[in-house]
Chain A
Amino acid sequence: MPLKKYTFGQACIVAMISLFSLACLFPFIMVISGSLSTENDIVTHGYSLIPRHVTFDSYRILILGSNRIVDAYVISAIVTAVGTVLSLIVTSMGAYAMARRSFRYRNVLSIYAIITILFNGGLVPWYIICVRYLELKDTMWAMILPPLANAFNMFLIRNFMMSMPEDLHESAKMDGAGEFRIYAQLIIPLSTPVLATIGLFVSLGYWNDWFLGLMFVDKQELQPLQLLLRTLISNVEFLRSSSNSMDIQRIAMQLPSESIKMALTVVTIGPIIFLYPFLQRYFVKGLMVGAVKG
């Protein structure tokens, strides 16, 4: 009977997938556990999956002890909210112009947008333009503006809009609506599925971004959350690796730095973990949309 072999293979597959899934989950649990552990436990026993002594000290220090964390959180939240909203408005308007069949030169607009996907000036000119000409250095706009207009997202929205029947426009026109009114009151409400998915991707990008902060923000009070996390980690690493002096190493050990790092990590990924169960299927759906040729 081939049935027996088949079930063995099936079992192997289930085992392999389970293992990989657990491996994907494992670091999250370890970080959460680390953030709840006492510093002593981490130093003597290392990280474990279940904290030996549960304590919320690191969170307390995080929130009470440092304005920078709260500031960074606010900065990241503002950048994400403003960036996402603006990005959706700008790209959907552009997409609408590219999608209108009555406009003979809409393909010229598409080519203008496609070129930005293909050609790339690279980091250096981009950096110099942003700093020297647009004066974005040490402003919050530096973290919002550069990724705002995304040609690829615009094409996804355009394709969605172009799948709507042309009659829609004509009847609205008949009723005396202008292009902008058709866009705002008719097309946008009908485009919510695609706008929701792209909005999620864009907001995830803003929330997880630290590259723009790294490039443009030297002021400490403007640093986004991710960058703060990075700074905290590399500083401890720096202390650990850069000196042979036992004194400094001991000081670095005594700070509850490990559990604080873990707590900050949890805080950073918090919104994502919290929203993930609800959002995940939208992302998958959006990816499918993207996979079917932009």
Chain B
Amino acid sequence: MKIETEAGRTIARARTKGNGVVRELIRNRTLLLMFLPVATLLFLFNYLPLAGLVIAFKNFQFTEGIFGSDWASPILNNFDYLLSSETAYRAVRNTILLNALFIAVGLVFEVGLALMLNEIRNKYFKRVTQSLTFLPFFISWIVVGVFAYNLMNFESGAVNRIIQSLGFDPIDFYSEAGLWPFILTLALRWKVTGYGTIIYLAALTSVDNSYYEAASIDGASRWQQMRYISIPLLKPTIMILTLLAVGRIMNADFGMFYAMIGDAALLFPTTDVIDTFVYRSLRKSGDIGMASAAGFVQSIVAFVLVLGSNYIARKADRDSAIF
């Protein structure tokens, strides 16, 4: 059967060969037509903004549009402006440092939880706890912001109640910038650990049980099995996911920052990131020149990082790279 269709296909291909691109396209016009909606949408929302990157080199006027606006003079004017901004420097620094913190802590939590869940033999317990840890992934950052507010607000927050009952002074979290890298890390872990664990857990459950059996016959303890079998087998997955996360280190999760911090300027010294900076420049202060220059730098660096990390990922393990 298989061979027959294979042969049939080869013949069909040979027959159409040399009929030209146009002929091939006409023959598949239904398929092209079916691709048209997605092609149009991607063009409008992905390709046009790409072309729109030139805004960074323009003196953008809303009425003139992207291509009608004059070039900035000097051409790098927007970038000069950006480079002289303390806030922009702070945003870049915060983006990289916070993301590095998120990646490191995330790795520990996700791999840790996956390894622990893998040790659980009680199916019911495993299923219930996995459902519970996965639950926060389903709610929006806005709601997480409400939860955080519930815990940390000055008057009625649960954390402050506990602090007070222990005899200490309550903390006004929303004016303590220094605490927020940790609060954000915790919030992010709370929200996505269950989700992030799934891929590691999938990798672990696909491990051939005979490895563990052989090891336990040789007298390896559970701990040793984890250390010498589970973790080494997870290593490729860990490497790839970490590399890809590093590739996105210039991009912050706008939702998280905006929902948790909002317009609380007191917290900006440690929490303002490129995404929130660009958003504010664009929507609040109307500073399109600055916003577009910052966005341009972010896009270019992000692009290089994605390509670079993917290149390394592919070197490490051919199948794991995205492309």
Contact indicator B282/A124 (Cβ below 8 Å): yes
Contact indicator A17/B116 (Cβ below 8 Å): yes
B65 at the A/B interface (Cβ < 8 Å)?
yes
Contact indicator A230/B136 (Cβ below 8 Å): no
CB < 8 Å neighbour of B254 from A106, A148, A211, A287: A211
One digit per residue, 1 when the CB lies within 8 angstroms of any chain A CB and 0 when it does not, for chain B 57-91 equals 00010100110000000000000000000000000
Interface residues on A, range: 35 or more
Query: Which of A55-63, A66-74, A110-118 lines the interface with chain B?
Result: A110-118
B53 at the A/B interface (Cβ < 8 Å)?
yes
A151 to B174, CA, bound (A): 39
Report the minimum CB–CB distance from A34 to chain B (whole Å): 7
Contact indicator A121/B49 (Cβ below 8 Å): yes
Contact indicator B147/A27 (Cβ below 8 Å): yes
Query: Which of B98-106, B207-215, B288-296 lines the interface with chain A?
Result: B288-296
A255 at the A/B interface (Cβ < 8 Å)?
no
A170 to B5, CA, bound (A): 9
Contact indicator A234/B55 (Cβ below 8 Å): no
Contacts of A2 in B (CB 8 A): 221
Report the minimum CB–CB distance from B280 to chain A (whole Å): 11
A221 at the A/B interface (Cβ < 8 Å)?
no
B285 at the A/B interface (Cβ < 8 Å)?
no
One digit per residue, 1 when the CB lies within 8 angstroms of any chain B CB and 0 when it does not, for chain A 253-294 equals 000001001100100110010001100100110011001011
From known contacts A208-B140, A234-B262, infer whether A93 and B150 are also in contact, taking CB-CB under 8 Å: no
Contact indicator B190/A134 (Cβ below 8 Å): no
A112 to B50, CA, bound (A): 13
Contact indicator B288/A124 (Cβ below 8 Å): yes
B242 at the A/B interface (Cβ < 8 Å)?
no
CB < 8 Å neighbour of B133 from A20, A120, A129: A20
Report the minimum CB–CB distance from B153 to chain A (whole Å): 8
Contacts of B149 in A (CB 8 A): 233, 237
Within 8 A of B (CB), among A82-131: 89-91, 93-94, 96-98, 100-106, 109, 112-130
Contacts of B146 in A (CB 8 A): 31, 229, 233, 261-262, 265
Contacts of A28 in B (CB 8 A): 135
Contact indicator A269/B139 (Cβ below 8 Å): yes
Contacts of B113 in A (CB 8 A): 17, 20
Contact indicator B145/A124 (Cβ below 8 Å): no
Report the minimum CB–CB distance from A281 to chain B (whole Å): 9
Within 8 A of B (CB), among A174-199: 178-180, 183
Report the minimum CB–CB distance from B106 to chain A (whole Å): 14
Contacts of B119 in A (CB 8 A): 9-10, 13
A226 at the A/B interface (Cβ < 8 Å)?
yes
A219 at the A/B interface (Cβ < 8 Å)?
no
One digit per residue, 1 when the CB lies within 8 angstroms of any chain B CB and 0 when it does not, for chain A 1-42 equals 010011001100110111011111101101100100000001
Contact indicator A103/B278 (Cβ below 8 Å): no
Contact indicator B120/A17 (Cβ below 8 Å): yes
Contact indicator B161/A113 (Cβ below 8 Å): no
A42 to B156, CA, bound (A): 7
From known contacts A17-B120, A97-B34, A226-B142, infer whether A146 and B156 are also in contact, taking CB-CB under 8 Å: no
From known contacts A28-B135, A114-B323, infer whether A265 and B143 are also in contact, taking CB-CB under 8 Å: yes
B125 at the A/B interface (Cβ < 8 Å)?
yes
Contacts of B255 in A (CB 8 A): 210-211
Q: With contacts A27-B150, A109-B35, A211-B254 known, what are 18 further pairs, Cβ within 8 A?
A: A10-B222, A21-B132, A43-B156, A46-B156, A96-B31, A97-B32, A102-B12, A120-B49, A123-B282, A124-B292, A128-B66, A149-B38, A151-B42, A179-B28, A210-B142, A234-B263, A241-B174, A277-B131
* Top 10 closest pairs, chain A to chain B, by CB: A125-B52, A121-B49, A94-B38, A149-B41, A122-B295, A208-B140, A116-B46, A27-B147, A97-B35, A21-B132
